């Protein structure tokens, strides 16, 4: 296995475990901040490793990894510049949840590839596109109903609409970019 692939796998899985744990913990306390920085660091390492590995041959998933890295940075920025972003808490929680959703979909694709006996090629990308669509709908269903993220204020409703559009748009773009690989 390529060292970058191994680094991507280990760092991303560790980040996913921390991210899923953080969904159950109280928000805003010291433990949340410490685990959050571990999550950001590990997720960044995993994403940079896969981007580096794929750097010589561009691939739609590389673009998605870059987007998730930007989303991760934006989520951190929302909390760091809270005085300038009135809906910072909603954006921080939603964008961090998006990075966890992306990691769950990626892990599901690996498991799905093992189940169907294909880690690449048309069968894999058809399965992966289905997982992206299902994961996006399920993820939005979970994330958009979390009271801890979305309050009842009108600005947060607008933020939720923009967030949902971002998630659906990025998932649709990844599916469209991979369509030629799923149906050659």
Interatomic CA distance for residues 126 and 138, integer angstroms = 18
pTM for the model: 0.88
Say if residue 20's pLDDT is above 70.
Answer: yes
Q: Are 69 and 47 in contact (CB under 8 A)?
A: yes
> pLDDT tens-digit profile of 100-122?
999 999 889 888 888 998 888 89
Interatomic CA distance for residues 100 and 30, integer angstroms = 20
How is 65-129 classified by DSSP, letter by letter?
HHHHHHHHHHHHHHHHTTTT-TTHHHHHHHHHHHHHHHHHHHHHHHHHHHHHT-SSHHHHHHHHH
Counting Cβ atoms within 10 Å, is residue 100 exposed (0-12), middle (13-18) or buried (19+)?
A: buried
Per-residue pLDDT, 148: 72
Q: How much is the average pLDDT of 121-147?
A: 90
For 18, which DSSP code? H
pLDDT category at 154 given cuts 50, 70, 90 is: low
Q: Which of 6-10, 33-37, 150-154 has the highest mean pLDDT?
A: 33-37
- Neighbouring CB atoms inside 10 A of 22's CB total 19
For residue 153, the SS3 value is coil
């Amino acid at each position: 296995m390529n060292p970058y692939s191994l680094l991507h796998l280990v760092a991303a899985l560790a980040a996913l475990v921390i991210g899923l744990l953080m969904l159950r913990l109280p928000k805003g306390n010291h433990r949340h901040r410490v685990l959050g920085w571990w999550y950001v660091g590990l997720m960044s390492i995993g994403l940079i490793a896969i981007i580096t590995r794929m750097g010589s041959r561009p691939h739609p998933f590389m673009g998605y990894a870059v987007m998730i890295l930007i989303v991760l940075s934006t989520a951190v920025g929302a909390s760091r510049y809270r005085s300038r972003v009135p809906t910072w808490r909603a954006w921080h929680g939603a964008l961090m949840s998006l990075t966890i959703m992306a990691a769950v979909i990626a892990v599901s694709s690996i498991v799905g590839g093992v189940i169907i006996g294909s880690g690449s090629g048309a069968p894999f990308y058809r399965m992966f596109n289905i997982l992206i669509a299902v994961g996006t709908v399920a993820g939005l269903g979970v994330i958009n109903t979390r009271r801890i993220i979305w309050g009842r204020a009108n600005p947060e409703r607008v933020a939720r609409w923009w967030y949902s559009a971002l998630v659906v748009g990025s998932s649709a773009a990844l599916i469209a970019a991979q369509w030629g690989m799923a149906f050659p």
